[in-house]
Amino acid sequence: MDVKTLCLGVLAMRPATGYEIRKGLEEGLFSHFQDAAFGSIYPALKALAAEGLVVGAEEAQEARPDRRVYRLTEAGRNALLAALLKPPGPDKVRSDFMFVMVFAHLLPPERLDALLQERARWLREHIALLDCGGDQPIEPGRVFARGYGLAVYRAELEYVESARRPFIDRVRAHAAAGEPAMVGAVAGRTDP
């Protein structure tokens, strides 16, 4: 989903400013599977307005910068519907954490442990956030998405917690048997 469609989606729930859209993406349900920065949201909103898919009403505020509240037009609603009906592309996951984990045997075990504990902490935090989600989920889709996220995060946390110790032990054993991690790694050839 490009930023424009993302904006249409957020605006389908409630009228909002560019700033609020970004906040919603950063903190709300969407934060788990979509993202967009200010630098892409404002131009997207401008383009959507030019296409007639949204209309922006300028609201002067005292003591605060003016805000431009956008709301979906009929055409915008139809555009969202059309985007929703197109077969969704495959999920794109980009995880530096996982990449690093694959090379765990090249890391000092303490460092590996720290990474795993940090991951567990992150997961616990986000499970808690999803669990007592601030917004009241009325639409069934939001209930589904929240449950999905919780199921995934809980499975991850369970796995990290149960696999952590044996994993680190195996890495230590691997390091003891082969080249030691980091220190000396410079000297050790490994081409098979």
Residues within window 57-86 making contact with DNA, judged by CB under 7 A: 61, 63-69
Q: Measuring CA to CA, which residue among 114, 80, 73, 119 is closest to residue 96?
A: 119
DSSP H or E stretch at residue 19: helix 18-27
- Residues 137 and 30: their CA atoms lie apart, in Å, by 13
> What's the min distance (Å) between Cβ of 132 and its own copies?
19
Torsion sign (Cα): 36, 40, 45, 47: negative
Taking the least distance from each CB to its own copies, the nearer of 65 and 166 is: 166
Q: Per CB under 7 A, does 189 bind DNA?
A: no
- Residue 19: contacted member of DNA, its own copies, none (CB under 5 to 8 Å, by partner type): DNA
- Residue 2: contacted member of DNA, its own copies, none (CB under 5 to 8 Å, by partner type): DNA
Query: Site residues for DNA, window 3-32 (CB under 7 A)?
Result: 3, 17-20, 23
Count other Cβ atoms within 10 Å, centred on residue 94. Answer: 6
> What's the min distance (Å) between Cβ of 6 and DNA?
8
